[in-house]
């Protein structure tokens, strides 16, 4: 039986663990995706960066030509919206599970944002499409979801605020209030991914609609705000370790007396927190899936570097020096472990949706980006000065992974939540241990064992 080509990019053992859980359609799609990435996307990555103007104004008005061509090809091949599972979104999804997409997302992670965008699977659009598919009205879906699914427009998710600790969503200050048949929005956001893109047509804005509600998790609502609505001001693109990630960017945005129809309210008043939890769960796993791919790609670059005769030092290959071989082994072990963790989270989402996979998602979220940072750091070290230059993707990859330790909830929040969840097991564990001790004492009495118990 022929080995699936994905094994060349992942590992035989991880594939063997999940192969029987993938449908024939998923396996065929995976083959098609690998060929598309090898033939079209990965060769185009450097071209895409070259097509983005250096001019600080022009780069924010540019639709990268080679990426537009890739999207047209991907759509024709049926490699489109792979993240949206038909199981959870029967009307809009594709017949792939989250686990099946996890394998594909790892491959996309090797090509960065360009690879994901080429198959309409890039953030923040993926999360926004899930929100609209799950929570939006039929009218909202027709106006906003369908063009997003078709790749005709792009979007932004507007949550993080400049002057508050936004890792606690209850701190959000943006005001969302109803006046007659309109909703008025006032707020100051920043690091709003996607807001710089010339194709960005809508912002999903989280704000407080009922600040006096005794339930702090019912104070927030989400509203669809057209990107060109009067009062929406994109102040500036924010830097991320010196990168601006144009043309999507991560922007500072001010909403000043922005008025939209009341019909732009998503799902209902006070539903904002519920929506963002539903949105961030799958989104967090998507990031983790791609992070595995980035780490694997970095390790592949390291293997080539340390075995390159042109890079010998003091008469030896780089792998013959110091701890290089140990670094390779550690990286391989960490990638394998993290991959299984992500597979576990994806499988649990398939079984119980994001709400039933909070533990697995949370653990993956604080383990995987840190792992990827560590792997990429070792690879940078093997490249020396070239590793931090613009001539390799390593510096940008590291910056992206380090940012993920903050984005979608900082590590500390996820670690705290997982720790608190574990502590809840203490009462049952203590009770179980006491029962075992009781049986142990009965056995000691039966067999006349006088050892200290």
Please tell me the predicted confidence (pLDDT) of residue 450: 82
Tell whether 87 and 115 lie within a shared domain: yes
d(C-alpha 348, C-alpha 387), whole Å: 37
- Identify whether 433 is part of a domain: no
State the DSSP H helix or E strand holding residue 202, giving kind and residue range, or none if neither: strand 200-208
Please tell me the predicted confidence (pLDDT) of residue 354: 81
Tell whether 232 and 292 lie within a shared domain: no
Residue pair 225/260 in contact (Cβ under 8 Å)? The answer is yes
* End-of-domain residue from the set 218, 247, 266: 266
Which candidate, 223, 216, 96, 105, places its Cα nearest to that of 158? 223
Please tell me the predicted confidence (pLDDT) of residue 341: 96
Please tell me the predicted confidence (pLDDT) of residue 198: 97
Please tell me the predicted confidence (pLDDT) of residue 178: 98
* Residues lower than pLDDT 70 in the chain: 1, 451-453
Q: What is the pTM of this model?
A: 0.94
Tell whether 37 and 94 lie within a shared domain: yes
- Residues 389-399: tens digit of each pLDDT: 999 999 999 99
Please tell me the predicted confidence (pLDDT) of residue 451: 66
Tell whether 23 and 132 lie within a shared domain: yes
Tell whether 158 and 278 lie within a shared domain: no
Please tell me the predicted confidence (pLDDT) of residue 353: 85
Range of the domain at 183: 154-266
The 3-state secondary structure of the chain, one letter per residue: CCCCHHHHCCCHHHHHHHHHHCCHHHHHHHHHHHHHHHHHHHHHHHHHHHHCCCCCCHHHCCCCHHHHHHHHHHHHHCCCCCCCECCCCCCCCECCCHHHHHHHHHHHHCCHHHHHHHCCCCCCHHHHHHHHHHHCCHHHHHHHHHHHHCCCCEEEEECCECCCCCCCHHHCCCEEEEECCEEEEEEEEEEEECCCCCCEEEEEEEEECCCCCCCHHHCEEEEEEECCCCCEEEEEECCECCECCCCCCEEEEEEEEEEEEHHHECCCCCCHHHHHHHHHHHHHHHHHHHHHHHHHHHHHHHHHHHCCHHHCECCECHHHCCCHHHHHHHHHHHHHHHHHHHHHHHHHHHHHCHHHHHHHHHHHHHHHHHHHHHHHHHHHHHHHHHHHCCCCCHHHHHHHHHHHCCCCCCHHHHHHHHHHHHHCCHHHHHHHHHHHHHHHHHHHHHCCCCCCC
Report the DSSP pairing between strands 200-208 and 182-193. unpaired
* End-of-domain residue from the set 203, 234, 266: 266
**Rounded to 5°, angle at Cα 334 from 312 and 347:** 140
Tell whether 365 and 397 lie within a shared domain: yes
Tell whether 341 and 327 lie within a shared domain: yes
Which CATH number do you get for residue 303?
1.20.140.10
Please tell me the predicted confidence (pLDDT) of residue 245: 96
Tell whether 389 and 322 lie within a shared domain: yes
Indicate the number of domains in the chain: 3
- Identify whether 452 is part of a domain: no
Which CATH number do you get for residue 168?
2.40.110.10
Tell whether 287 and 224 lie within a shared domain: no
* End-of-domain residue from the set 210, 231, 266: 266
Could you check whether the bond before residue 154 is cis, i.e. omega within 30 degrees of 0?
no
Please tell me the predicted confidence (pLDDT) of residue 161: 97
């Amino acid at each position: 039986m022929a080995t699936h080509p994905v094994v060349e990019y992942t590992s035989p053992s991880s594939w063997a663990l999940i192969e029987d859980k993938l449908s024939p359609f998923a396996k065929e799609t995976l083959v098609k995706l690998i060929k598309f990435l090898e033939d079209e996307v990965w060769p185009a990555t450097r071209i895409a960066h070259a097509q983005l103007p250096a001019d600080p104004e022009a780069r924010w008005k540019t639709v990268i030509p080679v990426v537009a061509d890739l999207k047209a090809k991907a759509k024709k091949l049926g490699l489109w919206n792979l993240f949206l599972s038909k199981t959870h979104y029967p009307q809009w999804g594709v017949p792939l599970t989250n686990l099946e997409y996890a394998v594909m997302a790892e491959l996309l992670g090797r090509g960065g944002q360009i690879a994901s965008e080429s198959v309409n699977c890039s953030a923040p659009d993926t999360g926004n499409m899930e929100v609209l598919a799950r929570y939006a009205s039929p009218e909202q879906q027709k106006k906003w979801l369908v063009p997003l699914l078709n790749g005709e427009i792009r979007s932004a998710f507007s949550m993080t605020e400049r002057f508050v600790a936004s890792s606690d969503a209850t701190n959000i200050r943006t005001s969302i209030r109803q006046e007659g048949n309109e909703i008025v929005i006032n707020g100051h956001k920043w690091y709003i991914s996607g807001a710089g893109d010339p194709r960005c047509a809508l912002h999903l804005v989280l704000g407080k609609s009922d600040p006096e509600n005794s339930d702090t998790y019912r104070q927030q609502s989400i509203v669809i705000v057209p990107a060109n609505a009067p009062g929406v001001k994109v102040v500036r693109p924010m830097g991320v370790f010196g990168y601006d990630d144009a043309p999507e960017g991560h922007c500072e945005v001010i909403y000043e007396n922005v008025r939209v129809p009341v019909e732009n309210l998503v799902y209902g008043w006070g539903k904002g927190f519920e929506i963002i939890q539903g949105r961030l769960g799958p989104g967090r796993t998507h990031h983790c899936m791609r992070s595995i791919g980035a780490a694997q790609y970095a390790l592949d670059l390291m293997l080539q570097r340390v075995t390159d005769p042109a890079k010998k030092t003091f008469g030896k290959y780089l792998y013959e020096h110091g701890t290089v071989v140990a670094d390779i082994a550690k990286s391989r072990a960490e990638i394998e472990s993290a991959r299984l963790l992500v597979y576990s989270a994806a499988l649990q989402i398939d079984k119980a949706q994001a709400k039933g996979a909070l533990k697995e998602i949370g653990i993956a979220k604080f383990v995987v980006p840190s792992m990827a940072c560590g792997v990429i750091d070792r690879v940078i070290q093997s490249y020396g000065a070239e590793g931090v230059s613009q001539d390799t993707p390593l510096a940008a990859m590291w910056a992206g992974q380090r940012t993920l330790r903050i984005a979608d909830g900082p590590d500390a929040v996820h670690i705290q939540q997982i720790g608190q969840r574990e502590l809840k097991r203490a009462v049952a564990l203590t009770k179980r241990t006491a029962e075992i001790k009781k049986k142990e004492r009965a056995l000691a009495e039966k067999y006349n064992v006088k050892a200290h118990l």
